[in-house]
């Protein structure tokens, strides 16, 4: 806790030591949600109003709020209240791009998976169906996702070195989030697999927060654009994280894609 250098007071720090079960993959409220949305709007080429509408959905979605709280009510390994925090950027990105396939390498408890699945459900309601494909070596990973929410979720158990390339054959990846072993070899394998099966617009997310520079190197090699958005926590022992991602375009530029997305929503 001392090493985090967060902005929490003494009582919050004491509460964390005594009661908080999270030792990694922290859930927290964002200190500056509007600032995050402004930065994402610039990177994605979308309007701030559009992204603000998507972010507002997460505050009222029952699956991300009261139903999630009920689902973990009697579990000692989860917090009763689990704000999605840094994963808001994942949700907003998925809503803006409306991809047909999101790939997540590393599931852990499944909060990120749940966030993506809710974004995909909203996209489908607007006429843009999609699927989440998640990889993990632990068959119990993803316990936060209730069974009746798994219709768009394809879990693959095994190491991505052997399971990811064959799983992507014939598919078009719109988003890939890397959150397995944070090594250059693993990142290269996962990012390049997505690039080999990329949709016209592909977003690669470095879940390590830039621990290794693989994604920046790929941007230089493949003419991608690299972005960093700071996600500061509010009243948490952990100071927050950085949303580091890259965008690779094939046919349609960013502004055209987001304009199309906004027009589709306006017609609903």
pLDDT on residue 261? 55
| Average pLDDT, integer, range 124-152 | 95
Question: What is the domain count for the chain?
Answer: 1
Residue with the bigger pLDDT between 178 and 66: it is 178
Residues 6 or more apart in contact with residue 267 via CB below 8 angstroms: none
The whole-number pLDDT of residue 260 equals: 55
Quick one: which of 216, 225, 215 has its CA closest to 194?
A: 215
Neighbours of 225 (CB within 10 A): 12
pLDDT band at 49 (very low <50, low <70, confident <90, very high): very high
Q: What is the pLDDT of residue 134?
A: 98
User: What is the predicted pLDDT for the residue at 79?
Assistant: 73
**Mean pLDDT on 70-88:** 79
Residue 197 binned pLDDT confidence (cut-offs 50, 70, 90): very high
Unique residue bearing structure tokens 């290269």: 188
Quick check: 21 pLDDT over 80?
no
Query: Helix, strand, or coil here: 101?
Result: strand
pLDDT tens column, 149-182: 999 999 999 999 999 999 999 999 999 999 999 9
* Proportion of the chain above pLDDT 90, given as a percent: 67
In this prediction, residues 52-74 reach a mean pLDDT of: 90
**What is the pLDDT, as a whole number, of residue 11?**
86
Label residue 171 exposed, middle or buried (CB < 10 Å: 0-12, 13-18, 19+).
middle
More reliable by pLDDT, 14 or 185: 185
222 versus 24: the higher-pLDDT residue is 222
Above 80 in pLDDT, residue 46?
yes
Contact of 67 with 167, CB cutoff 8 Å: no
CATH number for the domain including 54? 3.40.50.150
pLDDT number for residue 41: 97
Tens digits of residue pLDDT in 89-131: 999 999 999 999 999 999 999 999 999 999 999 999 999 999 9
Q: Which domain holds residue 240?
A: 2-266
Instruction: With a cut of 80, say whether residue 223 has pLDDT above it.
Output: yes
Mean pLDDT calculated for residue range 25-36:
87
Centre a 10 Å sphere on the Cβ of residue 70 and count the other Cβ atoms it contains: 12
Question: Would you say residue 3 has pLDDT above 70?
Answer: yes
Highest mean pLDDT among 13-22, 142-151, 155-164, 235-244: 155-164
Task: Please spell the DSSP secondary structure of the chain, one letter per residue.
Answer: -GGG--S--HHHHHHHHHH---SSS----BS-HHHHHHHHHHHHT--HHHHHHHHHHHHH-GGGTHHHHHHTTT-TTS-SS---GGGHHHHHHHHHH--SEEEEE--TTSHHHHHHHHHHHHHHHTT---EEEEEES-TT--TTS-GGG-TTEEEEES-HHHHHHHHTTT--EEEEEE-S--SHHHHHHHHHHHHHTEEEEEEEEETTSSSS-HHHHHHHHHT-EEEEEEEEBSS-SS-EEEEEEEEEESSS-HHHHHHHHHHHHHT-
């Amino acid at each position: 806790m001392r090493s985090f250098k967060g902005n929490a007071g003494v009582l919050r720090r004491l509460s964390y030591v005594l009661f908080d079960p999270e030792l990694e993959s922290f859930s927290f409220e964002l200190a500056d949600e509007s600032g995050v949305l402004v930065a994402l709007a610039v990177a994605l080429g979308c309007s701030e109003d559009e992204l603000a509408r998507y972010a507002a959905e997460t505050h009222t979605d029952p699956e991300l709020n009261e139903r999630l709280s009920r689902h973990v009510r009697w579990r000692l390994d989860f917090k009763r209240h689990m704000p999605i925090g840094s994963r808001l950027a994942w949700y907003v990105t998925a809503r803006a791009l409306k991809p047909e396939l999101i790939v997540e390498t590393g599931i852990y408890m499944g909060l990120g998976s749940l966030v993506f699945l809710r974004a995909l459900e909203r996209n489908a309601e607007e006429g843009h169906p999609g699927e989440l494909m998640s990889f993990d070596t632990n068959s119990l990973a993803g316990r936060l996702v209730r069974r009746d929410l798994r219709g768009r979720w394809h879990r693959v158990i095994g190491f991505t070195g052997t399971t990811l390339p064959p799983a992507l054959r014939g598919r078009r990846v719109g988003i890939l989030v890397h959150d397995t072993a944070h090594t250059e070899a693993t990142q290269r394998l996962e990012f390049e697999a997505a690039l080999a099966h990329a949709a016209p617009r592909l977003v690669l997310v470095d879940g390590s927060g830039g621990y290794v520079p693989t994604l920046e190197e790929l941007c230089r090699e493949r003419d991608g654009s690299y972005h960093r958005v700071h996600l500061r926590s509010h009243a948490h022992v952990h100071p927050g994280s950085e949303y580091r991602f890259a965008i690779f375009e094939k046919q349609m530029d960013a502004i055209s894609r987001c304009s199309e997305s906004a027009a589709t929503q306006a017609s609903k």
